Amino acid sequence: MQIDLSGRTALVTGSTQGIGAAIAAGLARAGARVAVNGRSRESVDAAVDRLRGQTDGTAFVAAPGDITTDDGARQVAEAVPDADILVNNLGIFGSKDALEITDEEWRRYFDVNVLAAVRMIRGYLPGMKERSWGRVLNVASDSAVVIPVEMIHYGMSKSALLAVTRGFAKDAAGTGVTVNSLIAGPTHTGGVEDFVYELVDPSLPWEEAQREFMREHRPQSLLQRLIEPEEIANMAVYLSSPLASATTGGAVRVDGGYVDSILP
């Protein structure tokens, strides 16, 4: 397939590392002008430099700002007044005993993983509808469907994100704008490496620790390995393209077969 995003502007939240950075790189290789977002100017500038090296100097825009706040979202909007493609990738995760999750932690997970995405959709969806073209992609998780006992608060937030996606897809019905969720499976990022070592023997070498984690904590995976961020990015680029014009309101799985269901 030939995916050409030339002339399109994309904003990827939480894109200084991990899945977000991989999606930003993938969109840029397809020809998009990509805004890189993170909380600090320093982290964003460093990420832009790395991404330019990976993509042969493709145009990137620095868009620092903490989008979990109104002020931060306004800061991002000043850097990127309009976007044709919005990828809500920002998210937090971590393990915690179910009965020890505090009210504050429940609220924090909802604020970061759900409300930040809503805030960005509210800012950019009207312009997409006016231009009769746009792509909104919310990066969810297999944990939205298969709630992990060790992080119920995270699973709850990603389930809510699926509902947000479906609702805004209905709001955009008939406008030429699509709104979808991407259900990412267990993915190999620096943060996930730390998470894995919370659950397995920290003295194990990484490859052995990964296998132990998948065997003991994610046995449903048909890949039987962690997914690489670039594999998530490939689906994100497709869903951001004109080729995905008939896919909206969906929860598209890139989960390595983790969710044991024929449908999402």
Catalytic residues: 154
Our measurement of the distance from residue 111's CA atom to the centroid of its chain's CA atoms, rounded to an integer in Å, reads 15
Asked if 116 and 13 touch (Cβ cutoff 8 Å), the reply is yes
Instruction: Determine whether 158 is exposed, middle or buried from the number of CB atoms within 10 Å of its CB (0-12, 13-18, 19+).
Output: buried
The label of the residue with tokens 């969810």 reads 140
Task: Tell me which residue of 140, 95, 143, 113 sits closest to 258, measured CA to CA.
Answer: 143
Task: Name the 3-class secondary structure at 109.
Answer: helix
Spatial distance between the Cα atoms of 211 and 239, rounded to a whole number of angstroms: 30
Distance CA 4, CA 84 (A): 13
Question: Which residue do the tokens 């995760």 mark?
Answer: 93
For residue 115, give Cα distances in angstroms to 110, 112, 138, 215, 255: 6, 6, 12, 34, 24
Which pair of structure tokens corresponds to residue 171?
Answer: 């709001």
Q: Which residues contact 33 (CB under 8 A, 6 or more apart)?
A: 8, 9, 10, 59, 60, 61
Q: What is the full DSSP assignment across 153-209?
A: HHHHHHHHHHHHHHHHHHHTTTTTEEEEEEEE-SB--HHHHHHHHHHS-TTS-HHHH
